[in-house]
Amino acid sequence: MEIRIGIGYDLHRLVNERKLFIGGIEIPYLKGLLGHSDADVLIHAICDALLGAIAKGDIGELFSDTDPKYQDIPSTELLKIVLGLVRKQGYEISNLDTVIIAEEPKLLPFKKRIQESLSSIMKVDKNCVGVKAKTNEGLGELGRKEGIACFATVLIKKES
Ligand code: MG
């Protein structure tokens, strides 16, 4: 069995007049994340973790933020493309763990839905999908509610 791990990180700025997407679901909030796609910061961190695990660069290399093709695209579509690359190399996802750092909105009521959403998009049992939400204790840019950041790790495996 060949196993590999990957780590991903992303941060997006919170702005007015954008919808907020985290983990493939829309979360009601007065602001949303700024970005070329729908700016789903958690999905982007997961894409980078997967790309890291197969040593294929990062999401910015794969999906240019100047390409009109990706303008306002649901990030779940980008994740499906990345999953295709991982599976093409013969890997399956063992498990995934994530951290969302958001001062606001409170994500506790949405964690279960985020977990189910990731489980369904990634075709991984939801018992293998970790979703954790933290605040930044009021410190720094994240603490001032200027943005939301995420970390993700994945473990992938294939029979060798
Ligand atoms: Mg991003």
The string of pLDDT tens digits covering residues 69-128 is 888 899 999 999 999 999 999 999 999 999 999 999 999 999 999 999 999 999 999 999
40 vs 120: CA distance, rounded Å: 16
pLDDT at 59: 95
Which pLDDT does position 70 carry in this prediction? 86
Q: Quick one: 62 exposed, middle or buried, by C-beta within 10 A (0-12, 13-18, 19+)?
A: middle
Q: Residue 64 pLDDT > 90, yes or no?
A: no
Q: Has this prediction a pTM greater than 0.85?
A: yes
Question: What's the CA-to-centroid distance between 115 and ligand 1, angstroms?
Answer: 19
Mean pLDDT score, 53-75: 91
On whether the CB atoms of residues 120 and 23 are closer than 8 A, the answer is no
**Angstrom distance (rounded) from CA 130 to CA 116:** 10
In angstroms, what is the span from residue 111 Cα to ligand 1's centroid?
Answer: 20
Residue 82 near residue 47 (C-beta atoms within 8 A): yes
1 Cα: distance to centroid of ligand 1 (angstroms): 32
pLDDT of residue 27: 98
Q: What is the pLDDT of residue 30?
A: 97
Q: How far is the CA of 145 from the centre of ligand 1 (A)?
A: 17
Q: Find the angle CA(133)-CA(36)-CA(14) to the nearest 5 degrees.
A: 40
H or E segment and range at residue 47 = helix 41-53
- Quick one: how far is CA 143 from the chain centroid? 20
Q: What is the Å distance from ligand 1's center to 20 Cα?
A: 13
Q: What is the pLDDT of residues 2-24, one digit of tens each?
A: 999 999 999 999 999 999 999 99
